[in-house]
Amino acid sequence: MAPHDLSSFDLTDKPHINLGLDGIVAFSTKKSFIDGQKGELIYAGYNIDTLAEHATFEEVCFLLWNDRLPTQAELESLQQALLAERTLPKAVIEFIQSCDKDAEPMGVLRSAVSMLSEHDGHDIADTQAATISMTAKMPAMIAAFDRVRRGLEIISPLSNGSTAENFLYMLNGEAPGEAAIKTMDLCLILHAEHGMNASTFVARSIASTMSDIYSAVTGAIGSLKGPLHGGANTAVMNMLLEMQAKGEGLDPVEEVKGKLARKEKIMGFGHRVYKTLDPRAVHLQKMSKQLSEETGHMKLYEWSVAMLETMKSEKNIDANVDFFSATVYYSIGIQPDLYTCIFAMSRVSGWTAHFMEQSDNNRLIRPRALYIADKNLDWTPIEQR
Ligand code: CMC
């Protein structure tokens, strides 16, 4: 029997099951709106295209946390607060140094964020302080782990500059160029918030038990890590690199058709809500094209476009945010297994915004499951089983 075939069970109260909570509206929110038919994404009133053109990541953080744009003074005050929280506690640095070189970066990030609840110097119940601290420290954690595993010294954070600039500086140990900073900042803006995705649902569920925000972000990182969610960007890059290893003559159209024939999923495609091109992918494709031209990685970009067209014609499935973000990060020299960490260091803004929104109007999240096994079986002694 298929795992979800309920035909032979007595459904006493005949519930309707929405697998994957598909279509269930469980909350109201001011944080974001998605029109999956039109391909529209709005953060707290502002279209993602408007934010991509005008905002900085820090402005987006303020917007998500306060449901309005900051004044100049408020933005400067937020930037100062983030700057003041960039340095990692000694215990977190020691933990990162103790990690195996082959450890999954998302696992390291999850554990390091979890450690902050004990080593941050803030009261665990001070949600605002913890929010600033995690947003400021996650880039430093990712950069520190990448340097340690490459046998390099951990770099101290910049005492000025944006989140994007500081991350690239701490990763590479040299001042990033304007174009790289702008690319990273735009990626952070595009990944900051996205409705009731799996990791945000985890964060809200943890908030609903009146647990702390460090736990919520730790849980959300664990959820984001999976390849059906944020882990897809790393999976996309690995797929493209595997294709490249087969030789320049590879036909990406046949590659996609072959995968579909074998019922394999193509990472970076499909979405529960979007039934058209993800509006974030539009910006990322533009960036990917431009960077690929600049860095001479045109082959991977051209293959990506051929894959996009083939998925559309074969399955009518569009690319999501993860597809072109992979080649964007690749073009600026970032290791593929860090891509999901970059997603996390942006999405922490959305997770924490939802934690606060849930806490302000809380009801314990507690759905139900339909029991489909036997009841009241006789006990069998262990030697008779
Ligand atoms: N490649 C091939 N076929 C696909 C894909 C794909 N990437 N995505 C969906 N389909 C097919 C799927 O096989 C199914 O076909 P059929 O009806 O013939 O069985 C149909 O489309 C519906 O797919 P589904 O898996 O039932 O859709 P879902 O809403 O449950 O899942 C998804 C959404 C994102 C998990 C899925 O599209 C997927 O696995 N995509 C690949 C992983 C990925 O890129 N994830 C990132 C999601 S967006 C960013 C984020 O959330 O982090």
Q: What is the per-residue DSSP string for 162-195?
A: -HHHHHHHHHHSSPPPHHHHHHHHHHHHHTS--T
Flag whether 366 is in a domain.
no
C-beta separation of 293 from 207 below 8 A: no
Average pLDDT over residues 45-61: 98
Instruction: Compute, in angstroms, the gap from residue 165 CA to the centroid of ligand 1.
Output: 34
The reported pLDDT for the residue numbered 15 is 78
Q: Which residues contact 166 (CB under 8 A, 6 or more apart)?
A: 86, 139, 140, 157, 158
Ligand 1, atom nearest to 343 Cα: 52
Q: CATH number, domain at 294? A: 1.10.230.10
Flag whether 98 is in a domain.
yes
Ligand 1 pocket check for 265: Cβ under 6 Å:
yes
Ligand 1, atom nearest to 20 Cα: 30
Residues 294 and 175 in one domain: no
- Choose one of 187, 265, 274, 312 to mutate for the ligand 1 pocket test, by most ligand atoms within 8 angstroms of C-beta: 265
- Among protein residues, the one whose CA lies closest to atom 32 of ligand 1: 271
Q: How far apart are CA 44 and CA 35, in angstroms?
A: 14
As a whole-number percent, the residues of the chain with pLDDT over 90 amount to 94
Q: Which residues contact 69 (CB under 8 A, 6 or more apart)?
A: 46, 59, 62, 63
Flag whether 14 is in a domain.
no
- Choose one of 225, 271, 318 to mutate for the ligand 1 pocket test, by most ligand atoms within 8 angstroms of C-beta: 271
Residues 221 and 302 in one domain: no
Residues 93 and 175 in one domain: yes
C-beta separation of 48 from 280 below 8 A: yes
Q: How far apart are CA 201 and CA 141, in angstroms?
A: 24
- Among protein residues, the one whose CA lies closest to atom 21 of ligand 1: 270
**Which helix H or strand E contains 231, and what residues bound it?**
none
Residues 109 and 238 in one domain: no
The reported pLDDT for the residue numbered 12 is 57
Ligand 1 pocket check for 269: Cβ under 6 Å:
yes
Total number of residues shown for the chain: 385
322 is catalytic: yes
Average pLDDT over residues 244-256: 93
Ranges of H-type helices in the chain = 48-54, 57-66, 72-83, 90-98, 105-119, 127-149, 163-172, 178-190, 198-208, 213-224, 232-245, 252-261, 279-295, 298-315, 321-331, 339-360
Ligand 1 pocket check for 266: Cβ under 6 Å:
yes
C-beta separation of 108 from 218 below 8 A: no
The reported pLDDT for the residue numbered 145 is 98
271 is catalytic: yes
Domains of the chain: total: 2
Q: Pick the more confident residue, 68 or 5.
A: 68
Q: How far apart are CA 267 and CA 257, in angstroms?
A: 14
Tell me: the pLDDT tens digits for 227-247?
A: 999 999 999 999 999 999 999
Flag whether 173 is in a domain.
yes
Instruction: Look over the chain and give the mean of its residue pLDDT values, rounded to a whole number.
Output: 95
Ligand 1 pocket check for 30: Cβ under 6 Å:
no
Residues 219 and 244 in one domain: no
pLDDT at residue 339 is higher than 60: yes
Flag whether 76 is in a domain.
yes
- Among protein residues, the one whose CA lies closest to atom 2 of ligand 1: 265
C-beta separation of 15 from 368 below 8 A: yes
Residues 218 and 251 in one domain: no
Give how far Cα 23 sits from Cα of 196, 250, 273, Å.
11, 39, 9
The reported pLDDT for the residue numbered 372 is 93
Average pLDDT over residues 299-324: 96
Q: CATH number, domain at 107? A: 1.10.580.10
Strand 46-47: give its sheet, edge to edge.
32-35, 40-43, 46-47
Residues 237 and 107 in one domain: no
Residues 141 and 256 in one domain: no
The reported pLDDT for the residue numbered 5 is 55
Residues 54 and 194 in one domain: yes
Q: How far apart are CA 175 and CA 203, in angstroms?
A: 34
pLDDT at residue 1 is higher than 60: no
Residue-range definition of the domain harbouring residue 42: 32-229+337-360
Residues 207 and 236 in one domain: no
Residues 67 and 51 in one domain: yes
Instruction: Compute, in angstroms, the gap from residue 384 CA to the centroid of ligand 1.
Output: 45
Flag whether 71 is in a domain.
yes
Active-site choice (191, 271, 283, 354): 271
The reported pLDDT for the residue numbered 271 is 96
How sure is the predictor about 276, in pLDDT bands with cuts at 50, 70 and 90? very high
Active-site choice (146, 185, 322, 337): 322
Flag whether 20 is in a domain.
no
Residues 101 and 190 in one domain: yes
Ligand 1 pocket check for 42: Cβ under 6 Å:
no
Instruction: Compute, in angstroms, the gap from residue 301 CA to the centroid of ligand 1.
Output: 22
Flag whether 7 is in a domain.
no
